[in-house]
Amino acid sequence: MRVLVLHGPNLNLLGEREPEVYGTQTLAELDAAIAAGAKELGIEVRCEQHNAEGAIVAALHAARTAYGGVVINPGAYAHYSYAIADAIAAIAIPVVEVHLSNIAAREPFRRNSVTAAACRGVVSGLGFTGYLLALRALAGMVA
Protein backbone atom coordinates (compact mmCIF):
# COMPACT_ATOMS: atom_id res chain seq x y z
CA MET A 1 0.00 0.00 0.00
CA ARG A 2 1.16 3.51 -0.83
CA VAL A 3 0.07 6.51 1.25
CA LEU A 4 0.58 10.21 0.63
CA VAL A 5 0.98 12.40 3.71
CA LEU A 6 0.12 16.03 3.02
CA HIS A 7 1.21 18.69 5.49
CA GLY A 8 -0.52 22.02 5.01
CA PRO A 9 0.46 25.63 5.56
CA ASN A 10 2.98 26.64 8.21
CA LEU A 11 3.84 23.07 9.15
CA ASN A 12 7.28 23.71 7.66
CA LEU A 13 7.77 25.88 10.76
CA LEU A 14 7.20 23.08 13.28
CA GLY A 15 9.62 23.36 16.15
CA GLU A 16 9.71 27.15 16.06
CA ARG A 17 6.08 28.19 15.51
CA GLU A 18 4.07 28.31 18.75
CA PRO A 19 5.95 25.45 20.46
CA GLU A 20 3.48 25.62 23.36
CA VAL A 21 0.76 24.49 20.90
CA TYR A 22 2.63 22.43 18.30
CA GLY A 23 5.65 21.21 20.27
CA THR A 24 9.37 21.58 19.68
CA GLN A 25 9.91 18.80 17.16
CA THR A 26 10.50 19.75 13.53
CA LEU A 27 8.77 18.70 10.33
CA ALA A 28 11.83 16.60 9.45
CA GLU A 29 11.43 14.76 12.76
CA LEU A 30 7.72 14.26 12.08
CA ASP A 31 8.43 12.89 8.61
CA ALA A 32 11.03 10.51 10.09
CA ALA A 33 8.50 9.27 12.65
CA ILE A 34 5.92 8.79 9.89
CA ALA A 35 8.43 6.86 7.75
CA ALA A 36 9.33 4.59 10.68
CA GLY A 37 5.68 3.97 11.54
CA ALA A 38 4.81 3.29 7.91
CA LYS A 39 7.67 0.81 7.61
CA GLU A 40 6.36 -1.13 10.62
CA LEU A 41 2.95 -1.31 8.93
CA GLY A 42 4.39 -2.32 5.57
CA ILE A 43 3.23 0.95 4.00
CA GLU A 44 5.18 2.92 1.42
CA VAL A 45 4.82 6.57 2.35
CA ARG A 46 5.61 9.91 0.74
CA CYS A 47 5.44 13.14 2.74
CA GLU A 48 4.88 16.55 1.15
CA GLN A 49 4.35 19.99 2.64
CA HIS A 50 2.54 22.79 0.79
CA ASN A 51 1.68 26.28 1.93
CA ALA A 52 -0.54 27.02 -1.08
CA GLU A 53 -4.13 25.82 -1.27
CA GLY A 54 -3.89 25.09 -4.99
CA ALA A 55 -0.82 22.91 -4.49
CA ILE A 56 -2.73 20.83 -1.93
CA VAL A 57 -5.66 20.44 -4.33
CA ALA A 58 -3.29 19.40 -7.13
CA ALA A 59 -1.58 16.87 -4.84
CA LEU A 60 -4.94 15.36 -3.90
CA HIS A 61 -5.92 15.07 -7.57
CA ALA A 62 -2.62 13.36 -8.40
CA ALA A 63 -2.94 11.03 -5.41
CA ARG A 64 -6.12 9.44 -6.72
CA THR A 65 -4.21 7.31 -9.22
CA ALA A 66 -0.90 6.90 -7.43
CA TYR A 67 -1.82 6.12 -3.80
CA GLY A 68 -4.18 3.92 -1.83
CA GLY A 69 -4.93 6.64 0.70
CA VAL A 70 -4.01 10.08 2.01
CA VAL A 71 -3.26 11.45 5.46
CA ILE A 72 -3.78 15.21 5.42
CA ASN A 73 -3.18 17.96 7.92
CA PRO A 74 -4.78 20.88 6.10
CA GLY A 75 -3.70 23.31 8.80
CA ALA A 76 -5.76 26.49 8.83
CA TYR A 77 -7.31 25.51 5.48
CA ALA A 78 -9.38 22.98 7.45
CA HIS A 79 -11.49 25.84 8.76
CA TYR A 80 -12.50 27.40 5.45
CA SER A 81 -11.20 25.65 2.33
CA TYR A 82 -14.14 24.30 0.40
CA ALA A 83 -11.74 23.78 -2.50
CA ILE A 84 -9.73 21.25 -0.47
CA ALA A 85 -12.94 19.68 0.87
CA ASP A 86 -14.22 19.30 -2.70
CA ALA A 87 -10.90 17.78 -3.83
CA ILE A 88 -11.07 15.22 -1.01
CA ALA A 89 -14.66 14.38 -1.89
CA ALA A 90 -13.75 14.06 -5.58
CA ILE A 91 -11.17 11.32 -5.16
CA ALA A 92 -12.15 7.71 -4.58
CA ILE A 93 -9.35 6.84 -2.15
CA PRO A 94 -9.79 7.21 1.63
CA VAL A 95 -8.47 10.35 3.32
CA VAL A 96 -7.87 10.77 7.05
CA GLU A 97 -7.50 14.27 8.48
CA VAL A 98 -4.97 14.90 11.25
CA HIS A 99 -4.39 17.87 13.53
CA LEU A 100 -1.49 18.06 15.97
CA SER A 101 -3.50 20.16 18.41
CA ASN A 102 -7.03 19.54 19.64
CA ILE A 103 -8.92 21.94 17.38
CA ALA A 104 -12.07 21.54 19.49
CA ALA A 105 -10.23 23.12 22.42
CA ARG A 106 -8.75 26.03 20.46
CA GLU A 107 -10.07 29.44 19.43
CA PRO A 108 -13.68 29.47 18.19
CA PHE A 109 -12.70 29.89 14.52
CA ARG A 110 -10.53 26.75 14.72
CA ARG A 111 -13.20 24.48 16.21
CA ASN A 112 -14.90 23.65 12.92
CA SER A 113 -13.28 21.77 10.06
CA VAL A 114 -15.04 22.03 6.70
CA THR A 115 -12.62 19.48 5.24
CA ALA A 116 -13.37 16.84 7.89
CA ALA A 117 -16.81 16.04 6.47
CA ALA A 118 -15.18 14.82 3.25
CA CYS A 119 -12.71 12.58 5.12
CA ARG A 120 -13.18 9.01 6.33
CA GLY A 121 -11.99 10.01 9.79
CA VAL A 122 -10.24 12.65 11.88
CA VAL A 123 -7.50 12.40 14.51
CA SER A 124 -7.02 15.57 16.54
CA GLY A 125 -4.95 16.61 19.52
CA LEU A 126 -2.54 13.68 19.75
CA GLY A 127 0.54 15.32 18.29
CA PHE A 128 2.82 13.19 16.14
CA THR A 129 1.01 10.05 17.32
CA GLY A 130 -2.06 11.20 15.40
CA TYR A 131 -0.28 10.67 12.09
CA LEU A 132 0.68 7.12 13.08
CA LEU A 133 -2.89 6.36 14.10
CA ALA A 134 -4.12 7.74 10.77
CA LEU A 135 -1.70 5.45 8.91
CA ARG A 136 -2.92 2.47 10.91
CA ALA A 137 -6.54 3.40 10.17
CA LEU A 138 -5.83 3.69 6.43
CA ALA A 139 -4.11 0.31 6.44
CA GLY A 140 -7.30 -1.16 7.92
CA MET A 141 -9.55 0.59 5.40
CA VAL A 142 -7.64 -0.62 2.38
CA ALA A 143 -6.85 -4.16 3.62
**Element at 54 (helix H, strand E):** helix 53-66
Nearest to 14 by CA among 51, 61, 67, 52: 51
User: Which stretches of 8-104 are assigned E, i.e. beta strand?
Assistant: 44-49, 69-73, 95-99
Query: Which listed residue (7, 67, 99, 131) is catalytic?
Result: 99
State the amino acid at position 28 in one-letter form: A
Distance CA 32, CA 37 (A): 9
Q: Active site residue: 22, 50, 61, 131, which one?
A: 22
d(CA 76, CA 80): 8
Q: Is 99 in the active site?
A: yes
Active site residues: 22, 99
